[in-house]
Structures are given as C-alpha cells and as structure tokens.
Amino acid sequence: MSTRTTYREALREALREALREALQRDPRVFLMGEDVGRYGGTYAVSKGLLEAFGPERIRDTPLSELGFVGAGIGAALGGMRPIVEVMTVNFSLLALDPLINTAATLRHMSGGQFSVPLVLRMATGAGRQLAAQHSHSLEGWYAHIPGLKILAPATLEDARGMLWPALQDPDPVLIFEHAQLYNLEGELEEGVVVDIRSARVRRAGSDLTLVAYGGTLGKALAAAEQLAGEGINAEVIDLRVLRPLDDATLLASVCKTRRLLVVDEGWRSGSLAAEIIARVSEQAFFELDAPPARVCSAELPIPYAKHLEEAALPQVPAIVAVARTICR
C-alpha cells in the first residue's frame, strides 16, 4: 500500500527531496551553482542541503556561468555526476558555449569516447513581473540541439522523479523548472518512479488534443475544464520531454481527436509549437479535421507592467477561444 505525503512547500520541496535523495544515493553527485548553499537557492530549492551535505557537495559558485557550467562538464568527464544550477534560463546564455559547443558535441566529436553525464537545472518562464531579462522561455531553443536531452517538469511527480533518471543518463540533460510552479501544491506518493522519455496524457478526451508543458500545463488543463462545460472534451498532453519529442503519444492522441492545439510559452516563430505541428502535419495530415493551431507568447521581450505581461503570455481565455474555433 502506498503512502501519500503532502508537500506543503509544494513543488520546490519535491525538487529538494529529489536532490537530497540523489546526494544520499550516489557519492558522485554534487550540486553547484550561484547561491545554492549559504543562501539556500534563489528559489529556496536547495535550502538546508548545505547543512546536510557540506560545502564540497553543495558548492556555491561565483557569478560565472561560463566557468562553472564548463567546470561541470569537466567534472562529469572526470567521473562525477554534477548537478549544475543556473539561476534562470536568461543567465544560461552566458554558458551557451560550453553547453552547445562542448557538452552537446563531445560524445560525437570524440568518436564515442567521452560522454558528458551532466545535469543542468534552471528556472524558466514569465509571470512574476521580472521583465525582459528574467522571464523568457528559451527551452525550445535548447531543444533544437542534437546531443542534449530537455526536460520540463510540470507536476510534483515529475519534479520529484525526473532528477534521478536524469542523473542515470550518460549524456547531458537540461531540466527547465517554470518559475511559476515552485509554489504548486499537492500530494505525492512516495517512491515515485518516472521515465524521461515519454509524454503523458494528463486528461483524457476525444474532441481535441491540447499539447502543453511546464508552465502552460495548468493553463491547458484549466482551459479543458472550461471547454468541457461547453461540450468540448479535450485531451491534454504534457510533453514532459522536449527533446527528443515523443511523437507516438502525440500522434496517437491526434489520430483519436483529429484536432491539435499546442500551447507554448515560447515565442511563436521557430517554436516547439511549430515543430510539433510540423511533425503532426507530416505524419498525420489526413487524420486532421481542422488546421492545427497554437497559442504562444506574443513576439516581444516580456514587459514589466502586469497587464502587458499577462497579455504577452498564453492565457486560458485565448486557449479556449482558439479551441472553439478549431472545434466548430
């Protein structure tokens, strides 16, 4: 019989317990990043871990993303299992060189000799009035890169469960934690085991496939509830893994519902939403009863003012409105 634990501190606590478990299970695991130790983590995810595991394994770094992400890659090459935390995806751009030019390429460039078992965690997404240098959703950009695996936990279960399989992966894994989700509350079974290869149907439905991930999953589910009241039964798929995409789950759903709407906090042009629509169009064009559609962020840097920020992001009313259009 499974026990259920209430995470009062919510998703952030699930992430912390995942870190604690990894640090306890594998002496090669250590956490490194800006303010992960004495400060307790920018989002308080690693609070208390310094006291439990000491400064060698909960390692505060200087403001030096290029340096410590590169060092994380080197430590992975040297036999450790580093978890590197970058404060936000915007700051990760300072570490693009080691991530894209080295972590993603090394296995291939070396003819299969050097794998890079690095796990990189970072916050992503908007919604807290942090404006254009702290709010972007660039995970779709990273999902363009062969050699990387990209994860986006949207549930407590995935926040708790994705880290361990990510650490078992011999190649670099980037985990994007939507900043709006850290306070997500709920209950979770202990000993949860999840995979990091498949999308998951979070709500079964028959009339429309709503695809979302990370920060947009909750919005897609809320939209589905509203649509249900109007007689539209939407299926909601949580991508979970942004690279490689789980085409099979997407196609199975679309072949059943015959309609596709992708909700993506990334910008529309060149987005993950575009990729998903392309794949469905390529592989299931004649199964579709309506043109595939998407609700993405407006194409501008995220503004500070609350009403403008809200207007720039995918919101439930827009999802519902587009869903109605394609279900007519």
Partner 1 sequence: MSAPLPFPRELALRLLHDMVRIRRLEERAAELYGEGKIRGFLHLYIGEEAVAVGALHALAPDDAVVATYREHGHALIQGVSMQAIMAEMYGKQEGCSRGRGGSMHLFDAATRFFGGNAIVAGGLPLAVGLALAERMQGGSRIAACFFGEGAMAEGAFHEALNLAALWRLPVLFCCENNLYAMGTALEHSESQTDLCAKAASYKVPAQAVDGMDVVAVQQATAAAVQQVRGGGGPFFLEFKTYRFRAHSMFDPELYRDKAEVAKWKERGPIHNYSARLKALGLLDEAGFLALAADVDAEVEAAVAFAEAGSLEPVDDLLRDVHTPEGAS
**Minimum distance from CB of 284 to partner 1 (Å)?**
24
Sequence-ordered list of residues with C-beta below 8 angstroms from that of 149, at least 6 positions apart, any chain = 166, 169, 171, 172, 173, 174, 196, 241, 243, 244
307 belongs to the catalytic site: no
Count CA atoms closer than 13 A to 107's CA, side-chain side: 15
**Minimum distance from CB of 98 to partner 1 (Å)?**
6
| Amino acid residing at 194 | V
Question: Which is nearer to partner 1, 106 or 250 (by Cβ)?
Answer: 106
Question: Which is nearer to partner 1, 70 or 153 (by Cβ)?
Answer: 70
Question: Which is nearer to partner 1, 109 or 278 (by Cβ)?
Answer: 109
* Catalytic position from the list 13, 17, 85, 134: 134
* Catalytic position from the list 34, 65, 157, 275: 65
Question: Which is nearer to partner 1, 110 or 198 (by Cβ)?
Answer: 110
**Minimum distance from CB of 157 to partner 1 (Å)?**
24
Which residues share a beta bridge with 237? 201, 211
Question: Which is nearer to partner 1, 97 or 287 (by Cβ)?
Answer: 97
Residues at the interface with partner 1 (CB under 8 A): 28, 30, 56, 61-62, 64, 66-80, 82, 97-98, 101-102, 106-115, 117, 146-147, 149, 170-171
Whose CA is closest to 190, among 23, 10, 3? 3
Whose CA is closest to 127, among 183, 47, 46, 203? 183
- What is the sign, positive or negative, of the torsion defined by CA atoms of 182, 4, 234, 139? positive
Integer-rounded Cα Rg, in Å, for the chain is 20
Residue 85 CA to residue 271 CA, distance in Å, equals 24
**Minimum distance from CB of 93 to partner 1 (Å)?**
13
Residue 211 CA to residue 199 CA, distance in Å, equals 10
**Minimum distance from CB of 111 to partner 1 (Å)?**
3
185 belongs to the catalytic site: no
- What is the sign, positive or negative, of the torsion defined by CA atoms of 246, 251, 256, 259? positive
Whose CA is closest to 215, among 319, 300, 291? 319
Return the active site residues: 65, 134
